[in-house]
Copies of this chain bind each other. A is one copy, B any other.
Amino acid sequence: MNYAIGVDLGGTNLKAGIVDIDGKVHQRLSVKTDYHADSQTISDQIFRLIDTLISMAHLAKSDISGIGLGSPGHIDKRGETILYSPNLPQWRNVPIKNMITKRFVVPCILENDANAAAWGENWAGAGKGTSSMVMMTIGTGIGGGIITENRLWRGANNVAGEIGHMIIQASGRKCKCGNHGCIEAYASATAMVLRFKEALESGTQSSLKNCDEITAKMINDAAFQGDKASLDIIKETGQYIGIALLNIMHILNPETIVLAGGMTGSGELLMAPIREITKQGTFEEPYKDTKIVFSELGNDAGIIGAAGCLLKELETSV
């Protein structure tokens, strides 16, 4: 019983790995998620991936403590059923926990994907050894997970950690959630590209000026090559993130904040303004102790975290 299987279901990729009790991944597999399929087809895809992983790793069933599944979307209070998922429209009302338990006859835990990734970083990554942590994943959207007293804080209805929809500029940009001024509407990769295009339209010069399509990666690459408009927009993005983190610090005062997701590819270009804003803006000394760091597990966070949630659950329930 030295291994757990972690599964990370995403809108694009379905990943799974064999994870040991120290949070190390020993085998990993990844396939494209059958995005448009119905929930039975997606479930079957998950089952097959786990089957393949077990046979690849030459493990006996007795070596495996159980299976952790990180899934997008809202999970019911009992942690058994996916109720709905904005990123996987057909993935609705699926009692996937019991389906996995029945199919593999091992314990299973179902966890929100952002929570699973946060737990992974806390267990075996950038937040290791800290008892309170907030993870902010900045990619196409912005998601999060909260750990207090060495446990995931899931909220009363299993929907805590939606830090991307924290409003930092109430009169500001419209967010796709319908509200105005969410940090996601300013600092996600999508939002940064939009703000960049607006800057170009209003006459800002840039080496990307005549490109047909602009992505966050292109802005990042141009910034590393010294393009001022790209440097400016990344700095501004960091400042917005800094404001959101100030709020997190003042509300939750976590020991560590871990930043993850594609946007962290900008490294110090993004981190420098974040540090500047949070140092300036904290009005009491103790807040300055909060460590703000990048994730260490990268794309493995979801797999490791899902497996870790299962191991934590088994440990707690003993």
User: Any chain B CB within 8 A of the CB of A90?
Assistant: no
Q: Are A286 and B246 in contact (CB under 8 A)?
A: no
Q: Are B283 and A253 in contact (CB under 8 A)?
A: no
Q: Are A166 and B250 in contact (CB under 8 A)?
A: yes
- Contact partner, A246, options B161, B167, B240, B283, Cβ 8 Å: B167
Which residues of the other chain, B, contact A146 by a CB distance below 8 angstroms?
A: 251-252
Q: Are B155 and A253 in contact (CB under 8 A)?
A: yes
User: Any chain B CB within 8 A of the CB of A177?
Assistant: yes
Which residues of the other chain, B, contact A289 by a CB distance below 8 angstroms?
A: 156-157
Q: Are B253 and A160 in contact (CB under 8 A)?
A: yes
- Cα of A277 to Cα of B252 in the assembled complex, Å: 23
Stretch at the interface among A45-53, A168-176, A223-231: A168-176
Which residues of the other chain, B, contact A157 by a CB distance below 8 angstroms?
A: 253, 286-287, 289
Copies of the protein in its oligomer: 2
Q: Are A159 and B284 in contact (CB under 8 A)?
A: yes
Cβ-closest chain B residue relative to A256: B156
Q: Are B253 and A156 in contact (CB under 8 A)?
A: yes
Task: For residue A293, give the distance in angstroms from its CB to the closest CB of chain B.
Answer: 14
- Contact partner, A251, options B163, B171, B177, B243, Cβ 8 Å: B163
- Contact partner, A74, options B169, B171, B286, Cβ 8 Å: B286
Task: For residue A86, give the distance in angstroms from its CB to the closest CB of chain B.
Answer: 9
Which residues of the other chain, B, contact A15 by a CB distance below 8 angstroms?
A: none
Q: Are A161 and B284 in contact (CB under 8 A)?
A: no
Residue-wise, chain A 33-47 has the 8 Å CB interface mask toward B (1 for contact) of 000000000000000
Cβ-closest chain B residue relative to A291: B156
Cβ-closest chain B residue relative to A177: B283
User: Any chain B CB within 8 A of the CB of A158?
Assistant: yes
Interface residues of A in 283-300 (CB under 8 A from B): 283-284, 286-287, 289-290
A-B contacts, 7 of them at CB < 8 A, read: A149-B149, A155-B253, A157-B253, A160-B251, A162-B284, A168-B170, A169-B169
A interface with B by C-beta (< 8 Å): 74, 130-132, 144, 146, 148-149, 151, 153-163, 165-172, 177-179, 181, 240, 243, 246-248, 250-255, 280-281, 283-284, 286-287, 289-290
